[in-house]
Amino acid sequence: MNAVITGSNGFIGSSLVENLLAEGADVRCLVRSKPRSGASDKAKRYVIDYASQESIINSGALDNADVIFHVAGVTKHLTLEGFRKGNVMPTQTLLEAAKKQAPSLKRFVFISSQAAAGPAQHLEQPITEQTPPKPIEDYGLSKLEAENLLRNADHPFSHTIIRPPAVYGPRDVDFLPLFKQIGAGRGIYPGNKHSYISLIHVHDLVDGILRAATSPSAENQTYFLATEETITWQQVYQTISKVLGKSIWELNIPLPLIAFAARLGDLYSKLTGTISILNSKKIELAKPKLWICTADKAKQEFNFTPTIPMIEGMATTFEWYKKQGWV
């Protein structure tokens, strides 16, 4: 396989690169800046500008490409325009470049998000691919717009859209603060102690992505990839507590207080130009109580079956954090 990957330096993208190299694929990574010298893997890296079709075409990365894995994206911004610039514009540029420079392309795989679909309305009814998408904030809206670009574009190759829920595992940084606070004996919830989520370990997610990329039944289809178990954030905290061997005292901060702190985060972002992890956009994602989905369609159509239990996945994540000296 000649595989082109965006977002190869990120959490999901780097794991995808690792798996493709292990399978003997020719891996070409589109990056925004020159990579550090001494890269240890065998992936090829091409510096491009997502605002320029020509930079992608002239890089040579798309020559004889079989599959494009578009993983790159923006998860934090203060405006819809900023999310569109990071999620919609690069998708459009890459699509147009592929039409011109990759005549043998078989599949364009887009890594979207559960946020593009929105939360579920009932605990007994997780959202499915047939649920009409209703994103509730700008990140999800930008991901849905990018999905629709792909669905409606006039191109000769097929596409597959993957919507992961919350993803964790080695190389992840979003769960790191949670491990640190639980390691200190604290279990502080941003108003979501009893909220339900779907979850997936990055290795299971990458397995599902690769299965979808090569499955004929996945042509021009959309899939959620998640574990079968629906869990609460309290169960996540308790699992990490067990992995760390730490007992914790718990505090569920009311959402109005979190929303007030988020507004302060917005102010900090405006004053410093640095996007705070606590901002109003993120709080919108925290308000719904049911971020749950089902991967039944993927199971039926290309035999997707997650194999990593949460306790095992959190343990491997913790071991990776320790090796990095982060905890």
Across the range 135-142, mean pLDDT stands at 94
Domains along the sequence of the chain with CATH: 2-168+200-226+290-307 (3.40.50.720)
Across the range 140-158, mean pLDDT stands at 93
Across the range 299-305, mean pLDDT stands at 96
Q: Is the pTM of this model over 0.95?
A: no
Across the range 165-190, mean pLDDT stands at 94
Q: Specify the higher pLDDT residue, 228 or 34.
A: 228
- By DSSP bridging, strand 186-189 and strand 166-168 are unpaired
Asked if 106 and 67 count as a contact pair (C-beta separation under 8 A), the reply is yes
* 256 band by pLDDT with thresholds 50, 70 and 90: confident
The rounded distance, in Å, linking the Cα atoms of 269 and 115 is: 23
User: How high is the pLDDT of residue 34?
Assistant: 72
Q: Specify the higher pLDDT residue, 153 or 245.
A: 245
Comparing C-alpha atoms, which of 189, 206, 168, 164 is closest to residue 291? 164
Q: Express each pLDDT in 290-300 by its tens digit.
A: 999 999 999 99
**Average pLDDT value for the chain:** 91
* 136 band by pLDDT with thresholds 50, 70 and 90: very high
User: How high is the pLDDT of residue 38?
Assistant: 45
Asked if 309 and 231 count as a contact pair (C-beta separation under 8 A), the reply is no
Distances (CA, A) of 8 to 41, 57, 276: 12, 18, 24
pLDDT at 25 over 90: yes
pLDDT at 249 over 50: yes
* 275 band by pLDDT with thresholds 50, 70 and 90: low
Q: Average the pLDDT over each of 162-171, 203-212, 277-286 and give the range with the smallest value.
A: 277-286
What's the length of the chain? 327
User: How high is the pLDDT of residue 277?
Assistant: 63
The rounded distance, in Å, linking the Cα atoms of 49 and 23 is: 29
Q: Which of helix, strand or coil describes residue 293?
A: strand
pLDDT at 216 over 80: yes
Asked if 166 and 133 count as a contact pair (C-beta separation under 8 A), the reply is no
What's the first-to-final CA gap in the chain, in angstroms? 38
pLDDT at 199 over 80: yes
Residue 283 CA from chain centroid, whole number = 18
Q: What is 187-228 written as a DSSP string?
A: EEESS-TT-EE-EEEHHHHHHHHHHHHH-GGGTTEEEE---S
Q: Express each pLDDT in 60-104 by its tens digit.
A: 999 999 999 999 999 888 789 999 999 999 999 999 999 999 989
